[in-house]
Structure 1
Amino acid sequence: MEQAIRPFTIGRKNFVMIESSNGAKASAILYRLVETTKANMANTFEYFNLLLTEIPQHIDDKDLIFVENFFPWSPSVHKECPADTKSLDLSMYISIL
């Protein structure tokens, strides 16, 4: 588990630059989304590319049912954003018995 929080501890110097509570909330949301995407073994760059191109197409939708298709664990996300399994470090997700 310590490996899972390593990027956060390395980046904490950058977080000093956050000057407002809204900025801190936005950073926490993005960090959580990145880590959830990695934990669900999807390509993070491709996932954000998908979000930033598809969500604006639904800006006028009255209901938010479309959002379910864009969760990191969604089959459609895994189809559109497959992880490069060669470069994945799965050691933090595999427990040694």
Structure 2
Amino acid sequence: ERDIRPFCTGRSSWLFSDTVAGAKASAMIYSLMLTCRACNVEPYAYLVRVLSELPQRALDADVTDLQPFNFSKPTA
């Protein structure tokens, strides 16, 4: 119940999404952020890494290593 509480409280805000595609995009991002939380991954660091690596990959490339439960901070 604790994990879905923000979803239930934000539901009224998402009611006014302009398009179905916008609502789906919001749902995907929300799902990724909750998965980050469940996997103890810092969401901002995750998004920075994913959004910097995705443009460098081919359209048909395997992206399973970019999922939150496979995410590890790069060693510098």
TM range (shorter): 0.7 to 0.9
Q: 2:65 aligns with which of 48, 64, 69?
A: 69
2:60 is aligned with what amino acid? D
Deviations 1:2-59 (A, max 9, x none): 111111122123202202211111111111111111111100111011111111111x
Higher helix share: 2
Cα deviation for residue 63 of structure 1 reads: 3.5
For residues 1-97 of structure 1, the aligned pairs below 5 Å read 2-58=1-57, 61=58, 63-65=60-62, 67-74=63-70, 77-80=71-74
Identity among equivalent positions (%) equals 35
Structure 1 runs, 4 residues or longer, greater than 3 Å off? none
The CA deviation string for residues 48-96 of structure 1, in whole angstroms up to 9 with x for no partner, is 11111111111xx26322x12211111xx2234xxxxxxxxxxxxxxxx
TM-score, normalised by the number of residues in structure 1: 0.67
> Which sections of structure 2, spanning at least 5 residues, go unmatched?
none
AA paired with 1:3?
R
For residues 64 and 15 of structure 1, do their structure 2 counterparts lie closer, same or farther at Cα, with a shift above 3 Å needed? Answer: same
Give the letter for the 2:17 counterpart.
I
**Structure 1 unmatched runs, 5+:** 81-97
Q: How many residues align?
A: 74
